[in-house]
Every structure is written in structure tokens, then in C-alpha cells.
Amino acid sequence: MVGTETTGPDAPAVPALRTALLAWFDRSRREMPWRSTTDPYRVWLSEVMLQQTRVDQALPYYRRFLERFPDVVSLAEAPLDDVLRVWEGLGYYSRARNLHRAAGEIMERWNGVVPADPEVLRSLPGIGAYTAAAVASLAFGIPVAAVDGNVIRVVSRLYADDGVPVQAAVGRRLRERATVLIDPDRPGAWNEAMMELGATVCTPRSPSCENCPVRAHCAGARSDDPTAFPGRRSRRAVPHFDVAVGIVRRHDGRIFIQRRPEEAMLGGLWEFPGGKCEPDELPEAACRRELHEELGIDVEIEPRVAEIPHAYSHFRITLHAFPCTIRGDVATDTF
């Protein structure tokens, strides 16, 4: 593994690297609506949407969101339910809640003007180091490196650094190197170019080194296996959970749903009551138990009507849905 220095026999020639990468980006970059603006609100929105979401998936949501909330003022004044409704289908709903909260703070603290200072941006809900750097550089021309997974991979290969980025010392070293490389005259274009290179050429499994504009400056490309950089930690098995929910009908035919706590995963969204199956517990039994624990009702379980697999970022579930008939009397203010 290379050391912590940003110079040495494997370090790229920074001025030549900058020239080559920016020339490639200027002629080859993909056209995207947020690349034609320096409006900090639109840059911020695009960066938030592109977290955990592919560009082709985010594009229609970006356009639709801006039609409904074209600026910080309209977003801050909108009810949260309206924001979540427009976001619906994009996933990771905490992003939408944080956008809404941050818009409110921007109205209160800066009269609706998005701040330029990356450290101030980081004080807002949902804005971390990467998003703050992206907004500061793309919208305000501040020379700060925006370091995401693509940039980590590119920097690791440029220096042939096989450290594991999730380790604190390695992550710090790679961020320092990304800061050394940034072009001070065109920081926004540089950050976009690094991300574009990682997304389209310097890909995780099959990098197109023969088409790379900075191959001459890349120690990883000169190695036998550029995919060895960055290093990887051993993968853990992805946990799986069976979740049983009840479709509980009121006496008037309406179906009971409940809202998740704001601070919980998928907070503020609506769901059928239920929960995880205990080890060796059948879904039918778990549904009956969960409804009794959550709602204080006893139910007759009808045959299952749906079995739906779903994957989240760090675990998977199979959702089992059962129509339920309430046994005995229940409080009328609940049902």
C-alpha cells in the first residue's frame, strides 16, 4: 500500500492531469439539466436526488419536483405531505424530509438564500461533506473537493492505493489527495469530471482504461489489475427478514393504516400494522401477535393475499399480507 504522501513515484503530474481530464469532460460530458445552471437550489436538489439513485431514474423526478417547488420559498411553504407525495417512488424518503426541513431553515436564517460556505451548508439537515462541497463548487465556484464513491475509486486508481476506503485513515488520505488534485480555476467542472469519469470509464468491475483520458497519469492503469484499487473489505451476508402485516377492515369497510414515526426509517409514510417474524414463527402467527401488541386487538387470520420480496440497501424482506377479521369489541375511536 502506498503511504500518506500526495507526491512520490506513483503520484500523477497534477497540472497535466487537470488539463487532460477537463478537456475530455468539455467534449464528452453527458447533458443533464442541472449541468446548465449554477442555481444553488437546483444544484442542491440534483445532488440529493442522485444519492442512492441512478441518473436515468432521477431525471423525471427532478423535473417534476421543480415544477411543483421551483425555489426554496415554495418548498419551505409546502406541507410535508405534499413534498413526500411528489417524491413518491424515488425512495429514501428521509432525503425529501431533510430537503423540506433545510428549506425552512434557509428561510429562517438566510431569508431564502442558499449559503455558499460549505461548512455552513453542512449545518443544514441532510447535507453532508459531499453535498456541501458539490453545492459550493458547482454553484459558487469554491475550490473544495466533492468526494463520492466514484471519486474515491478514481483517486485510488490514480495512486494505486489499495487501502480500504471505509477505514478512517484511508478515507482521510484519499480525501486529502482529491483536494490536491482539484483545479482551483474550475472546481465545479473538475468535481463533475471526476464523478463522470468514475461513472462512465473508471467503473468498478470493468474499467475502460483504453478509453481513459488520464491513463498516462494513472498508476492503477499501469498495474496488472486496476480493479484491485481501492481495496475491499470482506462482504457480510445480507440479512433477510420475514415481515407479516394485517389488512384490518373497520366495521364500515374502511382499512386501517398507520403512520410511521418521523424519526424512524421511512418516517412519515403510511403502512399496514405488523412486524418482523420471530425465529421459527409462522407469518400468520406473527401477524396475530403483532396486531395484539401494537393495537390491542385479537383477529382471525384469513388466507394470505400477497407475498412480496423487497430489497433495501443493507437488508431484504419478504412481506406477507393477511386480511384480518377483528374478534370481540374494540374501542370505537381506533376502529
Catalytic residue (choose from 5, 47, 67, 300):
47
Judged by DSSP in three states, 121 sits in helix
* Nearest alpha-carbon partner for 207 in 199, 219, 217, 195: 199
What's the count of helices (H) and strands (E) in the chain, helices before strands?
12, 7
The closest of 241, 140, 137 to 193, measured between CA atoms, is: 137
Query: Quick check: 257 and 271 in contact, CB under 8 A?
Result: yes
Q: How far, in Å, CA of 325 to CA of 255, rounded?
A: 11
Residue 219 has, within 13 A of its CA and on its CB side, a CA count of 22
Which residues are 249's β-sheet partners?
Answer: 255
CA-CA distances (angstroms) from residue 281 to 223, 284, 295? Answer: 52, 8, 20
Spatial separation of the C-alpha atoms in residues 127 and 135, rounded to whole Å: 10
Cell of 245: 402485516
> How far does Cα 276 stand from its chain's mean position?
25
Is 47 catalytic? The answer is: yes
Q: How far apart are CA 96 and CA 58, in angstroms?
A: 13
Looking at this protein, which amino acid is placed at residue 281? E
What does the block give as the cell for 55?
441518473
Catalytically active residues, by annotation: 47
